[in-house]
Structure formats: C-alpha cells, structure tokens
Amino acid sequence: MKVFNGKQAAEDYMSTHTLAFSTPELTLMRYSFWLGEMVPDPQDRKKTVPRMYTFVEEKDFEPVQIIDDEKYVPTGAVRISGMYGNQQTETNSDVKFCFECGSKISTNARFCTDCGATQD
C-alpha cells in the first residue's frame, strides 16, 4: 500500500524554512504550496513530479485483529466485586445468575463477569 509520510515531509519543510513570525494559516498555506512544487523525479531525473510524490512510500501493514462483541473473554484486569467496580450492591429481588457458573450478575449484563459466558 502506498502511504504519504506527512511527518517526514513536515520535518523537511520546517528544517529548510524559517516560520518564526508566521501565523498557522500562512504556515499551512506555504507548506501546501511547497508540497505541490514540481521537482525532479527520484527514479527518472528527466521527468518532474510534485514534491508530495517524493514522500510517498510503499508499506506493508499487518492485519488488524478484529474484536468480536459477541464473545467476551475475561482477562482479570477489572474486578467487579470488592473495592473495584460499582460501590452499590444490588438488594432488589431482580437478581440474575449466570447460566454457566451460577455467579450473581447484573440484570442487564450481556456477559458473565466471572466466566465470560453470553447471557440471553
């Protein structure tokens, strides 16, 4: 995939231009004109390309792990009972229990906080 390396382009621009007294709008306008300037093509010196193309790189990205909202796997990072989580305990008669492990859970919970089972 080809991507534009904007960070490198901005660093190159800032290192060659003094912008101490410029407003942000003027700086951005000058930067955009600088990116659009025609420069010799790095692959073929006889041709010219916009400077922006000199900052386009070929990159390979790893596939992103997809998070499944229908499956919950507890990591142990958040503890619901004790000093973590909700300070109010449920005292009403509408208490719900997990279908898998039988632990007490919230009435509107989609997953069990102990075993991770989906609640229907």
The answer to whether 100 and 109 are in contact (CB under 8 A) is no
Per domain, the residue ranges of the chain are 2-58, 66-120
pLDDT at 91 over 70: no
Tell me the percentage of the chain whose pLDDT exceeds 70.
Answer: 78
The per-residue pLDDT for range 25-63, each reduced to its tens digit, is 777 888 888 889 999 988 888 999 999 988 888 888 777
pLDDT at 48: 92
The answer to whether 72 and 109 are in contact (CB under 8 A) is no
pLDDT at 105: 86
pTM of this prediction?
Answer: 0.40
Greatest Cα pair distance, the chain, in angstroms, is: 82
The per-residue pLDDT for range 65-83, each reduced to its tens digit, is 777 777 777 776 665 555 4
Other beta carbons within 10 angstroms of residue 105's beta carbon come to 22
